[in-house]
Structure 1
Amino acid sequence: MHPHRSALSACLAAASALAVAGCLPDGGADAADDGRISIAMMQPPRSSLSPLSDDAFKLSRWSTAETLVTLDEDGDPLPGLATEWSSADDTTWTFTVRDGVTFHDGTELTAAVAAHSLEYAARATPAPRILDGLALEIEAEGDTLTVTAEREDPLLPQRLSSPQLSILAESAYSGDTVSPVGTGSGPFELVEVDGTTSARLDRYDGYWGEPALAAGIDVTFVPDGTARAAALRTGEADIVESVPTSQASLLDPDTLTEVPMPRTNTLYLNTEEGPFTDPALRAAVRAAIDPRALVDGVYEGRADVAEGLLGPALPWAAERPERDEPTPAGDPDGAAITLATFTDRAELPEVATVLEQQLEDAGFEVRQVVREYADIEEDALAGEFDAFILSRATVLDSGDPAAYMTSDFSCEGSFNIARLCDEDVDAALSEAEKASVGDERRAAILAAEAAILDTDAAIPMLHERVIQGDATHVADSAKDPRERLLVTPLTHLTP
């Protein structure tokens, strides 16, 4: 491991937030000298950087793993490792696999290798959420790959853009384990991972596209937001993910970029057991929450009050249909609830504190649970909490919100923290999933959003804006609302 990065990792693991800046090595200057880019990332890997988990988005942001299809700014599909595609009917799509691509282990990309990656993902347990409720059959012949869905799916090309469906060399797969180390196809090769502490990538000179300008990437995982901001302020990191709003005023404005995100801060209520099986008590929570206090107090105005699950990053979401009268709020009458969230996003513990006060003022008795995300996700999905505050990307996978809604709110959804199972919601989600791309699909998605909101299983509070920190000597880093890109082949350090 790069000696400066190793020292940085050890320091961040051991130091308090107030002491971080004093023990960081002089990494930024060294990185500029050798052309390597240092990044302080927010969340450590949750699943050993398996592409079948949310860790896939790290691999995408580092430009080490690639997909058959990419997305443009509007969410429309563009060529990736596939150069073109066509549909034979409503369920079958054929993709032509790019020629001349090699993986970091030296093997070549073929249609059969791409089929192997997709088949592995399609049969994984749990399946990547982009494939929730959608079985696929994959066949390779020559340089083409045919993907057949069990039902009509107009979004299949967009689905294949999900980083969780990255195409890796066959050597990446061993039993139940998938390793992206040395098995991607991007301009940077992942050469070393130190658990949840750091990662190292080198420029891959055999890349099929434009070669990377930077010599490599040195990543340190820094869950503490104050520490990430300190790394940017002291020059120890070149790029910093998710600068907390509380730290933004302490940094040079020229180093900050504020990006509206398709990300919503939402309170999920456990509808399966506990007090919130009662719709009237869920309505009482909705009535008690004052989102403006969160936007102005916690986010210092760097967020937008939520009108629904989908925010201003999707302008068409403003054309919402009128909704039925909401469920009347019941009397909490001292109902005891457990409110949980995680520390990885610096604002969320403070959001929990404000919500606790608002809910107690409404008559609830609140107990807080706050841990790192890696230590709390399993309990949240298992329904261990009555209420869970989640910062959730709404178009993360396919560029289309229907997949997120199905994952989070359908009876069979793999990320259903609210434990919601509602016939009307499932019917609306089904209509949205099969609707044609364009205005028809957008209207169906908004109808599904209304059905979800009518249950009060999820109470959207605010839409976030991400603040990315780039040192002034960083050129051409990506500012991506979908959080798929960060360091690209064009990203480099200037003198």
Structure 2
Amino acid sequence: MKIAHALRAGGTSLALAAAMSGCSPSTSSTTDNGGRIRLAMLQPPRSGLTPFSDDAFKLSRWATAETLVTLDENGEALPHLAAEWKRVGDKAWEFILREDVEFHDGTKLTAAAVANTLVRATKAAPKPRILDGVQLTAEAEGEHRVRIATAAVDPLLPQRLSSPQLAILAESAYRADGTVSPVGTGSGPFKLVAVNGTSTATLDRFDRYWGKRSTAAGIDVSFVPDGTARGAALRTDSADVVEAIPVSQAPLLDSKLIHEVPMPRTNTLYLNNATGPFSDPGLRAAARKALNPGDIVKSVYEGRADVAAGLLGPALPWAAALRASSQSISEPGSPAGAKIRLGTFSDRAELPEVAVLVEQQLEAAGFVVEQVVREYAHFEKDMLAGAFDAVILSRATVLDSGDPVAYMFSDFSCKGSFNIAHVCDQEIDRALEKASSTEPGPERRAAVMAAEAEILKRDVAIPMLHERVIQGEATGVSGVARDPRERALIMAQSSASRGAH
């Protein structure tokens, strides 16, 4: 199998090398620590790089579009384009802007520009998901002061404003036809100067950046959906930084060039609490006892994942220390002959393989398993309708605010919009309400973990493993972010040292 991977990589690497080898006309040399960074990315733009879509995360990873605040590793808000902020009522906040920020089109960062972006975000279709269920208003109060309010009390407003989907662009970014163009309208250390459809993008150093001037002269981006080709790009020195190298490619690469980054993503077995065998808490406890996630990590992920101790993994560094006991409150029942319908989807290549092992482990305990695997587009409707007794899902546990409460509410509360476990438990809801209403900080984190314990001890869902992403960095690359939230990648201090090409 490894030989086949290597043979396939040969052809794809030549094409990628050709695509990435040409120097940008704006800087024709790549001298030590002063050249351009060649970046191979997993997915091409899906929405024309509009910041109100998931494409915003590309703009953030290229350090071209910036937000009012950023987050530390614990999810706490830190100043960025906003120098400071304060609450001016239960539902309103006042943000004071930096006065030395210039957009790439030459205009200045002002309160009017900030209000323009935020108001447009509230009217976008579809709306940025960070604003789902949030009614937000923004008004300029002078040149550098913005008042931002919500219809309901929202202690997480500063964290919401860290979402790349709320990056502040110059007013020239917003076109009369309703489209938004980030080309030449951001404020970061790199200026986006060209986008070639879904093939490439080019960014140059922005010399008038308000912060530290970038080390690299620019970034040359290639979109490379094929995982074998991305692995080959690193192996053949066709790229300096490579996103999301598949596990299958890792053994073919120099271990010094790959770095595993824990992701806030948990592979979980959701059990249907409302109907079928798993409406019996004893059978849910039996399923939990039957699973051996360590075998799944070893065989499917080749050891490049973390066995789950809870819903929240090592990408949230505070979770493990605060984890409360989640021992099952039910004694395992006898699964002998219990028929269950196990479903998952094929869009994520590893999930069908995980399903095979889960089926084997459940059958070894006495369950009778029917396995169903479909493309997600043909799977979600039945999943949400409760057509399966158990579902294997790879789920992001930290959404755009950097806080896990929204995910837990969505998946495990009585009114959750993604409640595929079909659970409705008053103790869980009370714990989630407490976590949601607690101000950000240590007390909120403790409340989050108390809610996790309430979910786990009822065997509502069984977390199996926490995923990692493999990031490639060529020899001579330094200063690149390894960000579990996938917001940051190329930074002002990033550089790639190599000879001329």
Residue aligning to 2:4: none
In 1: Cα distance, 2:275 partner to 2:330 partner: 22
- In 2, the alpha carbon distance for the partners of 1:339 and 1:126 equals 27
Letter in 2 for 1:128: P
Q: Identify the residue that residue 325 of structure 1 maps to in structure 2.
A: 329
Tell me, in whole angstroms, the C-alpha distance in 2 between the residues paired with 1:196 and 1:379: 30
Q: Distance in 2 between matches of 1:52 and 1:59?
A: 11
1:290-338 deviation per Cα after TM superposition (whole angstroms, max 9, x unaligned): 2111111122222221111111333432333334514856567444443
SS of the aligned residue for 2:268 comes to: strand
Per-residue deviation at 1:66? Answer: 0.7
Q: 1:188 Cα deviation (Å)?
A: 2.0
Task: Give the corresponding residue for 1:427.
Answer: 430
Conserved? CA contact 1:340–1:388, under 8 Å: no
Q: Match of 2:149, SS?
A: strand
In 2, Cα distance between equivalents of 1:176 and 1:331: 59
Among candidates 22, 25, 50, match of residue 17 of structure 2: 25
Q: Distance in 1 between matches of 2:181 and 2:274?
A: 36
- Residue equivalent to 1:60: 60
Say yes or no: does 1:449 pair with 2:452.
yes
Verify: 1:367 aligned to 2:367, yes or no.
no
57-66 vs 116-125, which deviates more? 116-125
Distance in 2, Cα, partners of 1:383 & 1:224:
33
List aligned pairs for 1:231-250, cutoff 5 A.
Answer: 231-250=233-252
Q: Alpha-carbon deviation of 1:201?
A: 2.6
Q: Distance in 2 between matches of 1:125 and 1:109?
A: 25
CA–CA distance in 1 between the matches of 2:278 and 2:51? 35
Aligned partner (choices 262, 265, 269) of residue 263 of structure 1: 265
Between the aligned partners of 1:46 and 1:90, the Cα distance in structure 2 is: 38
**What residue in structure 2 maps to residue 167 of structure 1?**
168
Offset at 1:458?
A: 3.8
Q: 1:416 to 1:49 in 2, by over 3 A?
A: farther
Q: In the alignment, what sits opposite 1:474? A: 477
Matches within 5 A, 1:102-181: 102-124=102-124, 126-142=126-142, 143-174=144-175, 177-181=179-183
Deviations 1:363-384 (A, max 9, x none): 111122257xxx6797698669
The Cα shift of 1:233 comes to 0.6
Moved more, 322-331 or 85-94: 322-331
Instruction: Give 1:445 shift.
Output: 0.5
Instruction: Kindly report which structure 2 residues correspond to 1:16-415, keeping only aligned pairs within 5 A, or say none.
Output: 19-26=11-18, 30=22, 33-34=29-30, 35-124=35-124, 126-142=126-142, 143-174=144-175, 177-268=179-270, 286-318=288-320, 319-323=322-326, 325-326=329-330, 333-343=338-348, 347-358=350-361, 362-370=367-375, 386=388, 389-410=392-413
Report the equivalent of 1:5: none
Per the alignment, do residues 336 and 235 of structure 1 end up closer, same or farther by CA in structure 2, a change over 3 Å counting? same
Give the superposition deviation at 1:492: 1.7
Aligned mates of 2:369, 2:18 — CA distance in 1: 50
Could you tell me how far 1:339 is from its partner in structure 2?
1.8
**Is residue 485 of structure 1 aligned with residue 488 of structure 2?**
yes
Which amino acid in the other structure matches residue 249 of structure 2? Q
Flag the 1:176–1:306 CA change in 2: closer, same or farther, 3 A. farther
The one-letter code sitting in structure 2 at the alignment partner of 1:150 is A
Superposition TM-score, scaled by structure 1 size: 0.83
State the Cα distance separating 1:358 from its structure 2 match. Answer: 3.9
Please give the root-mean-square deviation of Cα atoms over the aligned residues, in Å. Answer: 3.4
CA contact (8 A) 1:153 1:433 kept: no
Distance between the aligned counterparts of 1:264 and 1:110, measured in 2? 40
Letter in 2 for 1:165: L
* Structure 1, unpaired ranges of 5+: 1-14
How far apart are the structure 1 equivalents of 2:190 and 2:362?
48
**Which residue in 1 is equivalent to 2:3?**
none
8 A contact 2:342–2:391 mirrored in 1: no
Distance across 2 between alignment mates of 1:382 and 1:317:
28
In the TM superposition, residue 236 of structure 1 has moved relative to its aligned partner by 1.5
Paired letter, 1:290: N
- Structure 1 residues 70 and 399: CA distance shift in structure 2, 3 A: same
Change (3 A) 1:146 1:247: same
Q: Counterpart of 2:166 in structure 1: which amino acid?
A: L
- For these two proteins, the number of residue pairs brought into alignment is 476
Contact 2:76-2:441 at 8 Å conserved across structures: no
Deviations 1:371-405 (A, max 9, x none): 7xxx6797698669746544444335233222332
Name stretches of at least 5 consecutive residues in structure 2 with no aligned partner: 1-6
Alignment partners' CA distance in 2, 1:349 and 1:221: 26
Query: 1:130-177: CA deviations, max 9, x gaps?
Result: 334433232211111112233333332222112122112334345664
Going from structure 1 to structure 2, the CA distance change for 1:57 and 1:383 (only over 3 Å counts) comes to farther
* Contact 1:305-1:462 at 8 Å conserved across structures: yes
* Larger radius of gyration between Structure 1 and Structure 2: 2
Q: Give the % identical residues.
A: 58
Say which SS state the counterpart of residue 367 (structure 1) adopts: strand
Letter in 1 for 2:158: P
Taking a change above 3 Å as real, the CA distance of residues 161 and 339 of structure 1, as seen in their structure-2 partners, is same
Q: Could you say what secondary structure the match of 1:25 adopts?
A: helix
Query: Does the Cα contact within 8 Å between 1:341 and 1:390 map onto a contact in 2?
Result: no
Give the deviation of 1:239 after TM superposition: 0.7
User: Partner residue of 1:9?
Assistant: none
The amino acid that maps onto 1:161 is S
Counterparts in 2 of 1:218 and 1:57: CA distance versus 1, 3 Å: same
1:397-433 Cα shifts (integer Å, max 9, x gaps): 2332223323444466566665666554443322112
8 Å CA contact 1:168–1:184 kept in 2: the answer is: yes
Deviation at 1:489, TM superposition (A): 1.3
Looking at structure 2, the residues matched to 358 and 243 of structure 1 have their Cα atoms a distance apart, in angstroms, of 29
**Which range is displaced more, 209-218 or 321-330?**
321-330
Letter of the 1:487 partner, please give it. Answer: I
State how far apart, in whole Å, the 2-side matches of 1:65 and 1:394 are. 24
CA offset digits 1:76-97 (Å, max 9, x no partner) = 3222111111122343221012
Moved more, 462-471 or 310-319: 310-319
Alignment partners' CA distance in 2, 1:121 and 1:424: 36
For 2:381 and 2:223, locate their aligned partners in 1 and report how far apart those are by CA, in whole Å. Answer: 23
Match in the other structure for 1:6: none
Deviations 1:78-136 (A, max 9, x none): 22111111122343221012223233344332112211222233344554333344332
CA distance in 1, matches of 2:488, 2:66: 11
- Post-superposition offset of 1:483: 1.7
